[in-house]
Structures are given as structure tokens and as C-alpha cells.
Amino acid sequence: MTIVVTDNCRLCRFTECVTVCPVACFHADDDMVYIDNNVCIDCRACIPVCPVKAILSEDDLADDQKHWIEVNAERSSALPVLEDKQPPLPTAESRRAELGY
């Protein structure tokens, strides 16, 4: 099953997911992280630790979120692996409040 990071990560990038992932499949740009599903082993450890519920299995994607499968594939292949937790973005707490978490 494909596991993807969705829009809620954007402007947050808390990166708790990176600390629990047993394989190095997270990649990051300045806004958010993305999962390389060629590496992901579908353990789902990252899903409950995200403070803003940004990570979803493809089964749980709404129709207007399905494009994130392709976005994760494209962006993860173009960006470096993120192996360590990073400080959240300066916009993270306001974005989390805006999302209601």
C-alpha cells in the first residue's frame, strides 16, 4: 500500500515521522516532506506520530488528495533523503492551529 504525505505537512514539517521510520524513505524541501514508496515498507509507524495528520495510506485519501501519490513520487526522487529530525518550520504552530490540531 502506498503511504503519502499530504498538504497538512506544508508549512509545518514537524518531522516526527523521520524519527520512527525504520528505513530512510523521507525526502524534504523547504516546505514539507515526501515519502519514497520504492523504499517504504508500509509499516505505518509514521502515520500516528504526525502532529497534523498529514500522512495517509492511499486507501484513506479523499478524491481531492489522490494527486499526492504522484507528488510524493516525483518530489522524493528529486530531493535528498532526510535522515534526522529537524526543527519545525517557523510557520508550524500557526499552521497547526489553522488546521485545528
Cell numbers 514539517 correspond to what residue? Answer: 13
Q: Would you say 71 and 34 are in contact if contact means Cβ atoms under 8 Å apart?
A: yes
Query: In the window 61-100, what residues touch ligand SF4 (CB under 6 A)?
Result: none
Query: Measured from the CB of residue 5, what is the shortest distance to ligand SF4 in angstroms?
Result: 9
Cα(3)–Cα(71) distance, integer angstroms: 12
Residue 44 touching ligand SF4 (CB under 6 A)? yes
Cα(61)–Cα(33) distance, integer angstroms: 17
Q: Which stretch binds ligand SF4 (CB under 6 A): 6-14, 22-30, 59-67, 69-77?
A: 22-30
Which residue ranges make up the site for ligand SF4 (CB under 6 A)? 3, 20-23, 25, 35, 40-46
